[in-house]
Structures are given as structure tokens and as C-alpha cells.
Amino acid sequence: MRRVRRFTPLLYVLPLALTLAGCGLSMASDRHDVERLMLIQTMGIDRLDGRVHVSVSTGLGPEEDPALVMTASAHGIEDAIARLQNYSPENQLFYAHIQYLLLGEQAARQDLSRVIEWVDRSPTVRTDTALVIVEGTAKDAVTGASEQATDITQRLASLDRQARTVGWSVHTLREAAAAISEGDGALCLAVETAPMDQTIFTDDMRSDAVIPLGYAVLGPDGLADILTPEQSFGAELLTGDPTGLLITVDGSTMEVLEGSAELKGAYGPDGAPAGISVRCTLRAGVLEKSDDAATPEELDAALSQTVGRWVTGALETAQTTRCDFLGLKKAVLTSDHALARWGGDWTDIFPSLPMTVTVDGFVDRSYDLPE
Amino acid sequence: MDELITRKQFAAAIFVSLLSPLLRLLPQTAVELAGRGAWLSVLPAAVPLLVLGAILASFRAHMRPGEGLGGLILRWLGPVFGRIVLVLYAAWFLFYGGFILRSGADRLAATIYPGSGPTAFIVVTVALCLLVALGDLRAAARTAVLMRGVLVGALAAVLALSIPNMDAGRLLPVGWRDAGSIALGALPLASVGAVAGGFAFLSGYVRPAEDRRWLTVPMLTLLLLGGAICAAVVSVFGPALTHTLTYPFFIMIRSISLGDLAPRIEALVIAAWVGADFLLCAFLLRCAHEALRPVFSLPAPEGRGLSDLRGGRYLIWLEAAAVLTCALALDMPPWQMRLWSDRLVPLASDIMLYGGYGLLWLVTIPARRRARSLQPRE
């Protein structure tokens, strides 16, 4: 009898084991068999004709199986996702491993906050998914960049690696959402699609390439602007590390060896911001000299002048779009507490603040370049 | 004496139980009140916790061997008023247990099992809590010691793995003008710590403390963890986004990966938190029983078989049924649940534990003086 009593707790616990997820009998309604999961690696969202279009790509299979690419439209993101599932009755589309989230230009303008909310509510999509804005539609990028041997995920992964090597920054949805919710703006990589058959003349290369454009500016209301490559360089110099980027100055191609920027606020007698001065230092190495060979001093001056224009362009875009995507407020706040004491509304005053840009450019000749 | 829980086990039980409301309220409630300075709110939060600790120590000094706070309240407040107060506390513990189960189930469904209902989780957990409440309290305390290692390890790993995503710039600037909001931000942490006061009803099962600071280290660790969680989440998402997100800490875990070895680990961490919900609910069930035991003059329920209903043990079944009913009845839309979770329940908890214990301490000053004067002088 005592031995039976010893096992009594086990008898209580055993029925509870029936509630665990297992072979068919489970209380969890979203139980999935692993072999029936179809992992989505890239998702594109567009706003076309008043409807949300969601395009997905599964990425290449383990044995180089071609990627499955699908697209569906509905009134909302969740509706469109539910529709996509209808096209794949055999397999469960699984969104927990999305690596790239592409937003078409129109969706980025209208639906950015909707996308951020959807990711917050989604129990599967990660917030550190790379966010990329597509000039045009994300649908074209997702569906057009896939063929037998490659797909959009591979192309974006390659672009990601290349971008990081040459100095562009790939931002995540979390970084963008955090900056936007703070009332600042955010930068994220912008790309365009271009037909491969304009470059590679073989019959089996008919898909599209994905080419980086520079940065898109995201504000609280969505996509505010897409910077030109030159303005993007200015933005990268102010916010990140432009080392490795190639620039052309007076017909000479140069590689940025190092660059930095210092921002400082100027204040009126009442403590109100009166302006921002930006001082950049840039060192570049000449890779290819132009035929109109300039003196080293002239090249230094041209570099300073050209990059000064690009930085000014980035600052002007920040002011016209009223998006502080360059983090000016934070830079001024940390470098000088006068603004913190002033306590006014930065968004009101920032677009009309005079900005002074000074660039100290130094061009290394080929014999100065590291091996 | 050997049948009693050691102070270290008791401290582990309190610590693990408090981890459940800690992650329910932090960081979003603290950030809502204190903004980017939420991580500094641990400093003012220590003040109410010290006051509560002093009140509990004062109560403890007047408890007889084997007596919990329930017995003390009945002795001090008399058979009628004492019973009313004890029934009130029992009702609070049962309601709070039901609420913890409901919010834990909603969190699990929202973060790991989308589309699933919370019923299965609630029913299973109540059944397990019933087993704990009917059984030996020492086993639950030993489980808490094991759980403490698991949960603190998981928290430390999460915080360490989140470092690459952190931007310390989001935690600053914080100046003297933020002092008021930082002090307000201490309220959620103080509410979390207040739950420790409920455990005074289990004092009768705990060995007398040789070291008077036995609870200081776990409470200090809890405060530090609270500050670290706020700092980590705010530095990852920024204060505005942290306030907007539904479960920012768990969303932060969603983005953690161990390379290709384990691209996602959130299910493991969130599931581990079920343990904290379970232990808190089990202890609350037992606290409710310890509050009702003096009301009905019942013996301690320890040392009997699980199916033995004698000695008022049937009451534990009824209490579990009350917790289950409460958890199932708290079926509300997410925005309403958030209002209950962030505002109403912490407020009620503060009223019951800070307010109630403070009032008890005040009205029993004459009784304590009398008792002190009767003690033989050395």
C-alpha cells in the first residue's frame, strides 16, 4: 500500500503529459511538423492600387532546389499572408527566419508604421531583420531576382556582405523603429533592380540584379526621401564609417581610407540653438588619376569642396524632410548640455538652423597607400 | 526543526516568485513613468522595500514558533476583525494567483504559441500548483533553489548576448530634472518587491534566521536585475519604442541567436519563465491557505497523502478551484489586460501589502509595546 502511495503523484501528473505537444495529440493549435515547414527568408511588402502585396521567397533549398517565390495581395499584411498560405496547402509557410524585409517605395511611404506594428505583434518575425527599401516595387525584386541558380535572398546576402565591406551600413527594422519612435529619422539601405541581360548576354541569365542606391530616409510618417549616392556618402560620413567607399573627385577615383565628423552646437544668449557647425576630416587614396592631372594641393581642395557639397546636401535633406536621420540632436546634446538646458522643441527649430560645413580633405598619393 | 524550510530556500522561493511580476511590469511600465532614466529607478525603489523589510522584521519578532502572519494577525486584531482581515488577504492571494496564471498564459500564447488559447496552460498549471500546495512545502522551496539557477543563468545569458545590439547613448542624457520621473519609475519595482510581503504568511514553516540579512542579498539582486533589464531593453529599443512594444524584453530575446547553432532561443527562455509563474502561483495558493487556516482553526496540512482531505485539506482544493475560476474569468482584450497588469493589479498589491501591513503595524503599536513590556529583561 505504501508503495502504491509513492506513485500516486505520478498518477496525478501523467494525464497532464497529454497536453504536451507531441505526435498529433496537442493542445497547441499552431503545432507544425518540421518537415512540412517552408522557411521564408525574404519578404517584400508593397502598396499597389490601394492593396497590400506581400511577396515571399523561401531561398534556395539545401540541394540547390530552386526557391519558391509567391505573391498575394489583400487589404492588410496578415490577410495577404493568410492568402499566401492558401497557395501552399501542403506546407506551412514559416516566417520565423526572415532575413530581409523589403519595402517597396509606396509601402515605405504609406505603411511603415503598419509594418512596425505587425512585426511587434508577430510572434515569429525578428526585429533585427535587415530592412531594405526598393526603388519601385519589392514584388519586382523578390520575383524578378529568382532563377534556377540564385534568388533574392542570395543576391541580398551578397549585397549585404559587399555593402559592409565597402562602407555602407545595412540597418535593421529595430534600428529604424527605435530612431523613428524617438522622433528622429532613420537611414536604411535603398536598392533598385536592374535587368541582368543588359550586362550578361547569355540566355539563362534573365533575372534582375539588385543594386545599392544609397540610403533611404525614414521619418515618423514613412519614407521621406531617397538620398542620391553623393548625399548618402555625406550621410555615411556624418553617421558611420565611410572607409572603403569609392568616390570620384574631379575625374579621379579615390578610395576613402578614413573619415570622421564632429558636430558642435552654437547657442544664443537665451540658450536657444543658433546653429550647428560640422567639421569633417577625410583621407582618401587615389586609385585612378584623371587625365587633367591636378597638383596635390588642388586635389586636396577639390576633395574638401566636393565632399563639403555632399555633406551639405545630406544636411539640407534632413532639414527639408524635417527628419533628424543624421542624429544631429543627439550629437549636439552630448557635446554640449546647453540644448538640454534650453528644453525647447528640437523638431520646430532644427529645419531652420543655419549649418556650417567644413571639410579637411587629404589625398594620399599611390606611394602613400598601404600595401 | 529538520522539517522546516531553511532561510536560504525561503529566500530562493521569494526571489524566483518575484521574477514573474518583474518581467510582467519591467521595463515598459518603468519606462512609461521614468523615460530613458528607468534603469536608475532601482535606487529609489530600495526605499519602500527597506520600509517593508523593517515592518516584516518587526512582525517576525512577535511570531511564536510555527506561527505565520495569519496567526499573528488573529492574535493582534481579535477573532472578529482578525478573521475579516485574513479572509481579505486570502481572497487577494487567490485573485492574484489567478491573475498571474492568466497573464502568464497570455504571454506564452502571444510570444510562442500564437493562435493557441490560454486554457490548457491555466488548467495544467493550476493542477500542478494544487499538487504543490497539497504536498510538502520543502519540495517547492527546493525546486525554487533549482529554478533560481536556471532563471538567473538565462537572464544573464540574454543580457550578455544582447550587448551587440545595445546603444548606451539611448540611456542618456539623464539629469537632475529627471529625478521626479525616475522616482515615479520606482513604483513598478516597489510593487514587484511588495509581493515578497505575502510570503510572511509562510513564516511558520521557516527556520528562524541566524543572519538577519538573509533577504537582503536576494532583494538586492532583484533590484539590480530590474535595473539591468531596463537598461538593456532601453538601450536596444530606445525609451519610446520600449513603451510601445507589447513584451519588449521577450521581443529583445527574439532577436538573439547563437549563430547557426541556435538561430532562435526565445522559446527556451520564455518557457523557463513558466516556472516562475508556476512557483509564484503555488506559493500564493499556499499563502491563501495559511491565511484561512487560523480563520477555521485548522492544523497544518503537511505530512499527509495527496488524496487525504482531512484536517481542512479540502479547502486547498476549493482554493485551487477559486484560482482556476479567477484565471478563466479574467478573459479580456489585450489592452484591458495591460491596464490590469500595469495599473490595477500593482495598485491593489501595493494597497494590500504596503498599505495593509503599514496599517497593521500602526494599529498594533500598543499590542507590541505591551508584549515587549511583558518580556523578561535580561
Mean of the per-residue pLDDT values for chain A? 81
Go through A157-181 and write b for each residue having 16 or more CB atoms within 10 A of its CB, e for each that does not: bebbeebeeebbbbbbbbbbbbbbb
Sign, CA dihedral B331-B335-B341-B343, equals negative
| Cβ neighbours, 10 Å, residue B284 | 29
Task: Choose among A134, A114, A130: nearest CA to A122.
Answer: A114
The β-bridge partners of A100 are: A42, A130
Residues of B with CB under 8 A from a CB of A: 110-117, 120, 123-124, 127-128, 131, 135, 165, 169-170, 172-173, 175, 236-241, 244-246, 251-252, 254-255, 263-264, 305-307
Instruction: Report the alpha-carbon distance of residue A236 to residue A324 in Å, rounded.
Output: 14
Respond yes or no on whether the N-terminal peptide bond of residue B173 is cis (omega within 30° of 0): yes
Confidence (pLDDT) at A8: 58
Task: Please list every residue in chain B whose beta carbon sits closer than 8 Å to the beta carbon of residue A29.
Answer: 113, 115-117
Instruction: Report the alpha-carbon distance of residue B371 to residue B378 in Å, rounded.
Output: 15
Query: What are the distances in angstroms from CA B224 to CA A48, A166, B165, B269?
Result: 50, 41, 20, 19
Indicate the pLDDT class of residue A105, thresholds 50, 70 and 90: very high
Confidence (pLDDT) at A102: 93
Indicate the pLDDT class of residue A181, thresholds 50, 70 and 90: confident
Indicate the pLDDT class of residue A371, thresholds 50, 70 and 90: very low
Instruction: Report the alpha-carbon distance of residue A105 to residue A48 in Å, rounded.
Output: 10
Give the SS3 label for residue B66: coil
Does the distance separating the beta carbons of B131 and A13 come in below 8 Å?
yes
Q: In this model, does residue B29 exceed pLDDT 80? A: yes
Residue with cell 528640437: A346
Indicate the pLDDT class of residue B1, thresholds 50, 70 and 90: very low
Q: Model confidence over B213-254: pLDDT tens digits?
A: 777 888 888 899 999 999 999 999 989 889 888 788 888 888
* Chain B, nearest residue to A339 by Cα: B173
* Chain B, nearest residue to A332 by Cα: B173
Task: Choose among A195, A339, A356: nearest CA to A270.
Answer: A339
Residues 6+ apart with CB under 8 A from B210: B7
Q: Model confidence over B131-158: pLDDT tens digits?
A: 888 888 888 899 899 989 989 998 999 9
Tally of helices (H runs) and strands (E runs) in chain B: 17, 0
Could you give the domains of chain A?
27-226 (no CATH), 242-371 (3.30.300.210)
Beta strands in A296-340 (DSSP E): none
Give the SS3 label for residue A260: strand
Return the HEC string of B263-317. Answer: CCCHHHHHHHHHHHHHHHHHHHHHHHHHHHCCCCCCCCCCCCCCCCCCCCCHHHH
Task: Please list every residue in chain B whose beta carbon sits closer than 8 Å to the beta carbon of residue A337.
Answer: 173, 175
More confident residue, A24 or A30: A30
Q: Which of B71-85, B168-182, B258-272, B334-348 has the lowest mean pLDDT?
A: B258-272
Highest mean pLDDT among A140-149, A247-256, A278-287: A278-287
Helices B119-134, B314-329: inter-axial angle, 10-degree rounding: 160
pTM score: 0.81
What is the DSSP-derived secondary structure letter of residue A138?
Answer: H
What is the DSSP-derived secondary structure letter of residue B204?
Answer: G
The β-bridge partners of A98 are: none
Mean of the per-residue pLDDT values for chain B? 88
Distance between A101 CA and the closest CA of chain B, angstroms:
15
What is the DSSP-derived secondary structure letter of residue B206?
Answer: B
8 Å CB contact between B34 and B240: no
What is the DSSP-derived secondary structure letter of residue B27?
Answer: T
Q: Model confidence over A122-169: pLDDT tens digits?
A: 878 888 899 999 998 999 888 876 665 667 888 888 888 877 666 677
What is the DSSP-derived secondary structure letter of residue A172?
Answer: B
Beta-carbon pairs below 8 A across chains A and B? 88
The β-bridge partners of A131 are: A101
Give the SS3 label for residue A155: helix
Q: Model confidence over A302-317: pLDDT tens digits?
A: 899 999 999 999 999 9
The β-bridge partners of B290 are: none
Domain ranges of chain B: 7-374
Pick among B251, B265, B278, B317 to test the A interface (most A CBs inside 10 A): B251
Q: Please calculate the CA angle B253-B257-B260 and round it to the nearest 5 degrees.
A: 160
Q: Which three cell numbers stand for residue A94?
A: 514559416
Average pLDDT over residues A108-115: 91
In CATH terms, B7-374 corresponds, of 1.20.1740.10, 3.40.50.360, 3.10.450.50, 1.10.357.10, to 1.20.1740.10
Q: Model confidence over A52-63: pLDDT tens digits?
A: 999 999 877 666
Give the SS3 label for residue B208: coil
Average pLDDT over residues B38-58: 91
Pick among A13, A19, A27 to test the B interface (most B CBs inside 10 A): A27
Indicate the pLDDT class of residue B199, thresholds 50, 70 and 90: very high
